[in-house]
Homo-oligomer: A and B are copies of this chain.
Amino acid sequence: MERRDEILHVAGHLFSQRGYHATSMRELARHLNLQGGSLYAHIASKEELLLEVVRQAAARFLGVLEALPPGDPVARLRALVRGHLGVIAQELPRATVFFHEWKHLSPPLLEEAKALRRRYEEGVQAVIQEGVEKGVFRVENVRLATLFVLSALNWTYQWYRPEGALSLEELSEMYAGLLLRALGVQEGGQDGAA
């Protein structure tokens, strides 16, 4: 079971770097000092490997939703931004697979991946919906606002690198500030973005 985890770990790296189809099972095996065929003592298929990586990433992102503090929509959105960026900082390969490579799954497994992604999106939508209902966020179209927030968050895996100039904390602060302003929150206290 431990060896299987190693395989999943390396698969996540390779799938995120080169893409699912550009990664061969023999290449994966080489990174693990195995022969190509030996992988199949631990896994059933290449596609199963992809789904497992997607599941692991989904667990992290869904974990962010569960850890949100109750109450204040502003605090919840800040925690969401911090959590999302935190997963990317800690799990960039898996996060990349979650955002992209899942598309290469075929119908039976594809549905599960879509469902996991949908759950995350619904969680984000709930945070925004709640803020609107409490009169804290002011947007004319909750669905569009959700897609906007998800867009801003999801694309970060393309450019954010934790070893770069901005620390996770700094970035999260500023990013949340920008999003809160977009959601119509008056700058309170910290003056997050201006």
Contact = CB atoms under 8 A, between A and B. Distances in A.
Contacts of A9: none
A140 B152 CA distance: 18
Interface residues of A, number: 36
Interface SS of chain A: helix
Contacts of A181: 181-184
A26 interface: no
A24 to B, nearest CB: 10
Contacts of A136: none
A89 to B, nearest CB: 15
Nearest to A145: B178
Interface string A7-48: 000000000000111100000000000000000000000000
Nearest to A157: B151
Given A19-B103, A181-B184, A171 B150 contact: no
